Chains A and B, each alone.
Chain A
């Protein structure tokens, strides 16, 4: 099944949902997007789409290979790499979360933990480093950093605190 076929099938199943197919090429000519093609889905329909992608025999994406996020300053993107062992098929999904409103520090996206168990830890990592809240997550705590850490390091606007419990986070320039 090609990505276009998957996209058409999804459009058929979710006719009212605005889905977007981004076709990328490698190597890319001028004007084309380089890299992997992917499908952009809206956050509120993510669970339904993922559940269909996992259970239906047609897709059977039984494995969530990777889950991560990218900070594009005006928006955060959550990236899902799905994989089907049965059909040997990859699929990349993206959810765009606008952060143009500075009062909204924590954009939210529903958790896919109930669909793939591995999402539990992967989402905790994204929460820890990006501050994205996964709604409905059973155990959303920091995983890499200490619980009392301030800020989300992989955000582009992250500024490290001067010290952590009296331990300085900078060191004097050695040549001064």
Chain B
């Protein structure tokens, strides 16, 4: 029998690759099908948003925050607005807070719909992706009615939101939410309980609780590893304390705690919770103004704040330093995809190359959010 020599193979994946969810590159060191490690190479979408902020006025920078994470633009808007408000001491009205929560939770639904749909597509199930996109489309249309944009909303303002709800918005949204939940049931029957799908994700890409905290994973990725932590519940901001919702965590149903399936199922469950929150907001929302009066040129006092909000991909931190002028002195977005990306090199050890795709998709990495 002939002996075959084996040696380490270096493969390039990306930056243009259908399953890298944007422009990300991996250098894969593998022995046949089994990876030794996948080294992420990021920065292809670096736009230096933090540097740009130093040349913009506080209000003028708002549209740029959309571009930090274009799938969760609403959360980025609100995170930035909250940081400026905290430093200046502007208090938005109660109605504005509710409008922000409604918009953020609708954003959470569409972002998670895309995440779970594309995860299914990445592991080989194309049809469910189209189903989730169909539902996403309905909410995108609602968002367009709310703020005129389908993706980069630019909706929040320092001191409130730009528009109140349009006429008939509630009546239009409620059936859409029902539809999303019905579609989710269908999606679960098609995908979540599917034996092949379970095998593709169960026990793959396991991240332990300690590792998740050490690498500062946040949001659904952290909850997938069994840490019951949600800023909306544990460090409540805005009007979240008045709302009733569950925080789903992974429990190792398909194999091991903290595997790809756990991260996936947390997102699926969060869609239902987000629907619940939007319905409650419609019931509890008070009448009133959607914007408080703010000075035309906002000049926060000299100082610095760090605020965190629960974005769809988890804890989004905004570190704002002001020198008392009308432009930010330093603005930093601490995004979740950046830290999620850094754990891949560690977790990829011993995985099959095909499972790398599942791992990236289950971490719900969005390329512009890594690079900013």
Residues of A within 8 A of B (CB): 24, 26-28, 33-36, 62-66, 68, 70-71, 79, 81, 85, 88, 90, 92, 116-118, 120-122, 125, 129, 142-146, 153-154
A66 and B332 contact, Cβ closer than 8 Å, known pairs A36-B304, A85-B227, A145-B46? yes
Q: Are A68 and B319 in contact (CB under 8 A)?
A: yes
- Residues from chain B with a CB closer than 8 A to the CB of A63 are 213-214, 216
Q: Are B306 and A81 in contact (CB under 8 A)?
A: yes
B46, B51, B319: the one within 8 Å of A81 (CB): B319
Q: How far is the CA of A117 from the CA of B211 in the complex (A)?
A: 9
Q: Are B87 and A144 in contact (CB under 8 A)?
A: no
- Residues from chain A with a CB closer than 8 A to the CB of B89 are 26-27
- A-B pairs with CB below 8 Å: how many? 98
Q: How far is the CA of A66 from the CA of B316 in the complex (A)?
A: 10
Q: Are A34 and B317 in contact (CB under 8 A)?
A: no
CB distance from B207 to the nearest CB of A (A): 12
Q: Are A79 and B319 in contact (CB under 8 A)?
A: yes
Q: Are A85 and B342 in contact (CB under 8 A)?
A: no
A34 and B87 contact, Cβ closer than 8 Å, known pairs A85-B213, A144-B43? yes
Quick one: which of B290-314 are within 8 Å of A by CB? 300-306, 308
* B211 closest partner in A (C-beta): A117
For residue B262, CB closer than 8 A to chain A, the reply is no
* A92 closest partner in B (C-beta): B306
Q: How many B residues, CB 8 Å from partner?
A: 41
Q: Are A62 and B214 in contact (CB under 8 A)?
A: yes
B229, B304, B317, B332: the one within 8 Å of A85 (CB): B229
Q: Which 6 A-B pairs have the closest CB atoms?
A: A34-B303, A35-B303, A121-B342, A118-B216, A27-B89, A34-B301
Q: Are B303 and A28 in contact (CB under 8 A)?
A: yes
Q: How far is the CA of A123 from the CA of B7 in the complex (A)?
A: 33
For residue B330, CB closer than 8 A to chain A, the reply is yes
B interface, over-half SS: mixed
* B89 closest partner in A (C-beta): A27
Q: How far is the CA of A120 from the CA of B46 in the complex (A)?
A: 19
B42, B216, B330: the one within 8 Å of A70 (CB): B330
Q: Are B306 and A66 in contact (CB under 8 A)?
A: yes
Residues of B within 8 A of A (CB): 42-43, 46, 48, 50-51, 86-87, 89, 211, 213-216, 227, 229, 234-235, 300-306, 308, 315, 317, 319, 321-322, 329-330, 332, 334, 338-339, 341-342, 346, 371
- Residues from chain B with a CB closer than 8 A to the CB of A36 are 304-306
Q: Are B214 and A35 in contact (CB under 8 A)?
A: no
Q: Are A66 and B229 in contact (CB under 8 A)?
A: no
Which of A64, A92, A144, A145 has most chain B Cβ within 10 Å?
A144
CB distance from A145 to the nearest CB of B (A): 6
Q: Are A70 and B305 in contact (CB under 8 A)?
A: no
A35 and B43 contact, Cβ closer than 8 Å, known pairs A27-B89, A65-B317, A70-B330? no
- Residues from chain A with a CB closer than 8 A to the CB of B42 are 143-144
* A128 closest partner in B (C-beta): B43
CB distance from A55 to the nearest CB of B (A): 13
Q: How far is the CA of A66 from the CA of B332 in the complex (A)?
A: 9
- Residues from chain B with a CB closer than 8 A to the CB of A143 are 42-43
Q: Are A62 and B213 in contact (CB under 8 A)?
A: yes
Q: Are A64 and B216 in contact (CB under 8 A)?
A: yes
- Residues from chain A with a CB closer than 8 A to the CB of B50 are 129, 154
A118 and B303 contact, Cβ closer than 8 Å, known pairs A62-B214, A70-B321, A143-B43? no
B234, B302, B341: the one within 8 Å of A88 (CB): B234
Q: Are B301 and A28 in contact (CB under 8 A)?
A: yes
- Residues from chain A with a CB closer than 8 A to the CB of B214 are 62-63, 116-118
Pull 17 A–B residue pairs with CB atoms less than 8 Å apart, ordered by A.
A24-B303, A28-B301, A34-B301, A34-B302, A35-B303, A36-B304, A62-B213, A62-B214, A64-B216, A66-B319, A68-B332, A70-B329, A85-B229, A117-B342, A118-B214, A120-B342, A154-B330
CB distance from B371 to the nearest CB of A (A): 6
* A66 closest partner in B (C-beta): B334
- Residues from chain B with a CB closer than 8 A to the CB of A68 are 319, 330, 332, 334
- Residues from chain B with a CB closer than 8 A to the CB of A145 are 43, 46
Q: How far is the CA of A154 from the CA of B86 in the complex (A)?
A: 24
